[in-house]
Amino acid sequence: MTEVATAARRPYLLAGKRAWVLGLLVAAVLCASALRLSPAQLIPSGSGFALLREFAWAALTPALDYEAPVPEGTAPLALKVLDSLRSTLVFAAAGLSLAVAIGLPLGALASTAWWSRAADDSLPRGGVRKLSVPVLFLALRTWIAGMRSIHELLWAVLLLAALGLTPFSAVCAIAIPYAGTLAKVFSELLDEAPRDGADALRDAGASRLQAFLFGIVPRAVPDLASYVFYRLECAVRSSAVLGFFGFPTVGYHLQLAFDNQHYHEVWTYLWALIAVAFLFEALSSSLRKRVVLR
């Protein structure tokens, strides 16, 4: 009641969610002025403008063959593009599958279904447990947050420095932050899944692990599967960008073509990447329609 009364007294623009919108707009203007951004800077200079025009033209006419002569015996451009796409998908699939293997157990452990005090008899009782449970839970959550708070490219920087340019660095660079994100989302999905099935199983004498595996996990599987599929799309993008660090994915060839000013070739790679995104989009939307919404 009191909250309603105070909300009514506040000025119109500061009440409830409007305050958020207004606050965000003010923050954005302040940040823009701190960065000294002005719309006038968006107009490219003479050379930038020429580049933009060249670039726009290249977008409509992507290269179907190399723009400059290549040594005898070089594979045609189309094959090279397909091969870079294949590499991109290899790194994405390896990285994401490793992330799933790490992230799912972590997420299951970090779910409150596991750590809540109620009906918990698998952990030691008494003072040790009172102290150890919140500490362990917090440590686990912090670990997961740490994994995903560092961007995959920064993991790549660290891993490249530590291990050198080996393909497995790229796989790990994708796998670590993605495992953190998957663990977080999975634990949230498990927390939000209805508990009635698990309670019934517990009442029927199932162990805690059985109730968790057969009562809670299946309720979260459809959402989880659709999220993993979405992350696969993200992993393809990450993997493409990792090419900028020397791995043989789309980004590598794109940067090379750009540095050689072969803008039509740049667009061939870009369109190839966009085509993959369209494919994933079409697949995931038809899957969602048939599976999740049923």
**Minimum CB separation from other proteins for residue 145, in Å?**
6
Inter-CA distances, 98 with 65, 102, 207, Å: 36, 6, 29
Is the separation of the CB atoms in 148 and 181 below 8 Å?
A: yes
Nearest to 59 by CA among 269, 261, 257, 278: 269
221 interacts with other proteins by CB under 8 A:
no
CA angle, 163 then 169 then 175, to 5°: 140
Print the binding letters for residues 46-75 with other proteins: x by CB under 8 A, - otherwise: --x--xx--x--------------------
Q: Which residues contact 146 (CB under 8 A, 6 or more apart)?
A: 180
171 vs 216, beta carbon nearer other proteins: 171
Q: State which of positions 137-166 bind other proteins (CB under 8 A).
A: 145-146, 149-151, 153-154, 157-158, 161-164, 166
Nearest to 258 by CA among 209, 250, 41: 250
**What does the block give as tokens for 272?**
């190839």
Q: Which of 14, 22, 32, 70 forms a contact with other proteins (CB under 8 A)?
A: 32
123 vs 223, beta carbon nearer other proteins: 223
First to last CA, the chain: 41
User: Which residues contact other proteins by CB under 8 A?
Assistant: 16-17, 20-21, 24-25, 27-28, 31-32, 34-37, 41-42, 44-45, 48, 51-52, 55, 87, 89-91, 93-94, 97, 145-146, 149-151, 153-154, 157-158, 161-164, 166-168, 171, 232, 237-238, 240-241, 244, 248, 251, 254-255, 258, 266, 270, 273-274, 277-278, 281, 283, 286-287, 290-291, 294
